[in-house]
Chains A and B, each alone.
Chain A
Amino acid sequence: MSLATNGIDFGAAVPRAEGGEPGARGPERTHLAAQGVTVRYGRNAAIKGVSLKVPEHRVTALIGPSGCGKSTFLRLFNRMNDGIEGISIEGRVFLYDQDIYARDTDAVALRRRVGMVFQRSTPFPKSIYENVAYGLRIAGVRDRSEIARRIEESLVGAGLWDEVKDRMHDSAMGLSGGQAQRLCIARAMAIRPEIILMDEPASALDPIATARIEDLISSLKSRYTIVIVTHNLQQAARVSDYTAFFYMGELVEFAPTQALFTNPGESRTEEYITGRFG
């Protein structure tokens, strides 16, 4: 299903074609799309009229100075902004051609397709096994062998299996920061989402743990579409295929990562990536 079926003109939201992604594999389907989205907390606009298309099976990075609205924008895609007091959302957000904010869209069903990993790793005070099983159990999976299979699959996928396979029933609170974050990624993967949203997943980790997460992200994009918020520009450059630069709630530039970093199209982007502000 291409975006054309949405009948929407996304205008400048499509990433610039230039700069040729080395591994580009033909035309890309749009997986997530924001169309003219404005988000306000009370009267204060955190996102101002942003349109952007996230391609399928690519890593899209959202960068920009702290407070520019990256997290707010990311949370639009799994409706984690719902329920914040005083929030108002205008514009439309799509998962393929489904309107995420349509009246008949169920946030619970949406979140089974669009997983999320947070900045601070949040293992539940349960065993490693139960942490990964959680999403399956609440989704109503009862078959124990199916659960065990999916747990192993996710932990292998998150590169954590070898480290925890002998202590699956120990508390997850005993894991290191990096392990806990990979556990959260495994937990998100267990329900087999199409998309994984990551909000600064490595910002609380040491460099070695960060490198492992980055490797993991690269290995995941064959199966998942990934949107990652990071304020670490090197990280964005290393892991992402596309980068969106946000500034004060506006999308300044959205382009293939290489192009954005080597040849930014906007002076504000250039100033930011060369460290002149932010």
Chain B
Amino acid sequence: MSAPPSPALPSLAAPRGARDRVVPALAAACAFLIVAMLGIILGMVGIGGWERLSWEFLTTAPRNGMSEGGIFPAIFGTSFLVLVMTVAVIPLGVTTAIWLHEYARPGALRTRAIRLAVHNLAGVPSIVFGLFGLGFFVHFVGGGLDEFLYGGQPVYGKPGILWAALTMALLTLPVVIVATEEALRAVPDDHRRASLALGATRLQTVLRVVLPQAVPGILTGGILAVSRGAGEVAPILFTGAAYYLPRLPTRVNDQFMHMGYHVYVLATQSPDVEKTRPLLFATVLALLALTFLLNLAAVLLRVRLRRAIRR
């Protein structure tokens, strides 16, 4: 039952000039390039590091001037750092986002100034965070604490996990704020109105109706922050990371080893670069695997929680 072509109607096939074909081709080429780069990086790291990656490598400390052994202290230090960072950044970021989205008047100068600050914070180079952390946390706050509590003895006024974690928390703060705000925005206003109309206060509405629905988004932001915090080196360079430590850190003012920094150390500070190269690749591979796993977890978590809530 094919209808006869109707010459009176304009053709549905748009005229296609050369440009219509060039642009998609370029776009496809760019996309391919990105995939290829990622493939090359992963391939090199994978091939170079796969052999050395073993259970032993992940669970033992470096030996012999870091030319042998594993990276356990670096994994431990990275986890410790990220844990303290999360404890600091989630409450601060989530409360800020709640204030911005649920309480502040959108047009007010104050609100816009804070938004602007958050966006600019996201654009500050990470080495600047490192310097800020050294100046503010280590010297000013830590040094001040020592002055008052320990009579000038350097207890907190030196690089340590706490200061590194707080510096990293500042760096990842915009991620958490933006993700949380986005999650809050996705909660229908109808739910807020319904809650208020039932005699709930603003706070009750936020805590019992809005936040539970925003949890998936907040967790996603948290995991993205963690994966960023696990990978960045510059902010911790002056604020707590150690080249090599014989013992694991146990207190928040101890220095710590870090996977990213360890990569840098292996790559540039080793007396015998050839000998440490397999270790270097294996460390990079472990670091990449960790960040990928965290990102994957963020995605899966979001999907699962969304489904659980919408059900």
Contact = CB atoms under 8 A, between A and B. Distances in A.
B105 A85 contact: yes
A187 to B, nearest CB: 7
A111 B197 CA distance: 6
Contacts of B107: 85
Interface stretch (B149-157, B200-208, B222-230, B257-265): B200-208
B198 A111 contact: yes
A125 interface: yes
Contacts, number: 64
Interface in A122-147: 122, 124-125, 134-135, 137-139
Interface residues of B, number: 22
A112 interface: yes
Interface stretch (B42-50, B72-80, B163-171, B188-196): B188-196
Interface string A102-135: 0000001101100110101010110000000011
Given A135-B199, A138-B204, A122 B310 contact: no
B196 to A, nearest CB: 7
A42 to B, nearest CB: 13
Label chain B's interface by main secondary structure: helix
Nearest to B309: A125
B199 A138 contact: yes
Contacts of B86: none
Nearest to A171: B311
Given A118-B194, A134-B195, A124 B209 contact: yes
B239 interface: no
Nearest to A197: B197
**Most chain B Cβ neighbours within 10 Å, of A85, A135, A138, A184:** A138
A12 interface: no
Contacts of A120: 190
Given A124-B209, A134-B208, A80 B197 contact: yes
A188 interface: yes
Contact of A118 (B193, B204, B213): B193
Contacts of B105: 85
A85 B201 CA distance: 19
A135 B197 CA distance: 9
B213 A125 contact: yes
A265 B212 CA distance: 52
Contacts of B201: 108, 138
A86 to B, nearest CB: 10
Contacts of B309: 125
**Most chain A Cβ neighbours within 10 Å, of B193, B194, B196, B208:** B194
Nearest to B209: A124
A9 to B, nearest CB: 32
Contacts of A108: 199-201
Interface string B257-291: 00000000000000000000000000000000000
A94 B190 CA distance: 26
Contacts of A134: 195, 198, 200, 208
A80 B209 contact: no
B198 to A, nearest CB: 4
A191 interface: yes
A122 B210 CA distance: 13
A1 B204 CA distance: 34
Nearest to B187: A125
Contact of B199 (A85, A125, A173, A191): A191
Contacts of B191: 122, 124
A173 B209 CA distance: 14
A243 interface: no
Contacts of A171: 311
A207 interface: no
Contacts of B196: 80, 111
A122 B194 contact: yes
Interface string B298-311: 00000000000111
Contact of A109 (B193, B198, B199, B208): B199
Given A85-B105, A173-B310, A174-B311, A138 B208 contact: yes
B198 A188 contact: yes
A78 interface: yes
B101 to A, nearest CB: 14
A138 to B, nearest CB: 5
B20 to A, nearest CB: 43
A76 to B, nearest CB: 13
Nearest to A184: B194
5 contacts: A80-B196, A122-B188, A122-B190, A135-B200, A191-B198
10 nearest CB pairs, A to B:
A112-B199, A135-B198, A116-B197, A122-B194, A111-B199, A122-B190, A138-B200, A138-B204, A125-B309, A171-B311
